[in-house]
A and B are shown apart, each in its own frame.
Chain A
């Protein structure tokens, strides 16, 4: 009967592959959170190689990457009420691989900083000031899974925004956050439409370049592409630090 119905009556749409994959991943993570060892092995098998490559691309050497990942997977094993699985902190708002990459990157950064400053700290030109070494070295990491990384991303991005020309930043906000059209902005500031468009485009490029430059200055060990940076901001849990 369906086969004989007019086209407009029946439209069979297959479930999007992404959605099926997301559901499957969500179910796998839930099983891991429940302590299912087989599920955790499967999660590890699916993601370990990619995570290793991501860490290496971000600056870790291969033995550091392996050590960090071994720690991360060990933390994913729940150990009773006092030691829930690390995966309990995953809220599903991004792919689990992106989240694990974020956690592993943060862990690697913390480890490198502790290792780097095991001996006497270097004497710097800002000795005695609030920017001096001791005020900048992070405290012993608690169980915040990404506070080091979040601080780096935030401070780099904040500095990049601060370095934008006022008109550029205001225009970006008007157009991209408040849905004001470029034509309306053009009338507001008395510019040509092409000048408005050029300003927006150049401002975005500036933010991209300046953010990565700031990041490199703050943490030379870490190598992120612009896409990495955006993915990390996107995979931000939002509620982790509260």
Chain B
């Protein structure tokens, strides 16, 4: 069963794609590194705020952050 946020975000995603098109921002090594550091909890203050702002406007990148965070589960288990 979908949670409320999933329902709302899913609805928006369907229609945003139709209206605006969905272009993945360029994932430079620098951006990848910042996302990785954020996921690992290594960013604070202005650096963290900048990444959060980037993620708010590019939600497609959040999957990368989630992936990194979940890798830490495996690493912790080793």
Contact indicator per residue, chain B 37-78, by CB within 8 Å of chain A (1) or not (0): 011110010001100110110010011011001101100000
Q: Are B12 and A176 in contact (CB under 8 A)?
A: no
Nearest residue, chain B, Cβ from A200: B5
Q: Which residues of A contact B72 (CB under 8 A)?
A: 184
Q: Are A233 and B62 in contact (CB under 8 A)?
A: no
Interface of B is mostly: helix
Q: Which of A77-133 contact B (CB under 8 A)?
A: none
Contact of B5 among A172, A179, A180, A189 (CB under 8 A): A172
A188 touching B55, Cβ below 8 Å: no
Range, interface on chain B: 35 or more
Nearest-CB residue, chain A, relative to B63: A178
Whether the pair B53, A173 counts as a contact (CB closer than 8 A) is no
Task: List B contacts of A177 (CB < 8 A).
Answer: 5-6, 9, 62
Chain B residues closer than 8 Å to A170, beta-carbon distance = 52, 55-56, 62
Interface-located stretch among A6-14, A27-35, A37-45, A234-242: A234-242
Query: Are B62 and A157 touching (Cβ within 8 A)?
Result: no
B11 CB to closest chain A CB (Å) equals 4
Q: Which B residue sits closest to A151, measured CB to CB? A: B15
Grouping DSSP codes into helix (H, G, I), strand (E, B) and loop, the A interface class, with mixed when no group exceeds half, is helix
Q: Tell me the number of A-to-B contacts counted with CB atoms below 8 Å.
A: 90
Across the interface, A233 reaches (CB within 8 A) one of B8, B38, B48, B52, namely B8
B residues less than 8 Å from A153 (CB atoms): 11
B14 touches A238 (CB 8 A): yes
Contact assessment for B8 and A178 in the assembled complex, using a CB-CB cutoff below 8 Å:
no
Query: How many Å lie between the Cα of A238 and that of B15 in the bound state?
Result: 9
From A157, A166, A180, contact of B11 by CB (8 A):
A157
Given known contacts A166-B55, A170-B52, A188-B39, A230 and B8 CB-to-CB distance under 8 angstroms:
yes
New contact pairs (16) apart from A166-B52, A170-B55, CB-CB < 8 Å: A157-B12, A164-B56, A173-B55, A176-B3, A177-B5, A177-B6, A177-B9, A178-B65, A178-B66, A180-B69, A184-B70, A188-B40, A188-B69, A189-B48, A230-B4, A233-B10
B interface residues, Cβ below 8 angstroms from A: 2-12, 14-16, 18-19, 38-41, 44, 48-49, 52-53, 55-56, 59, 62-63, 65-66, 69-70, 72-73
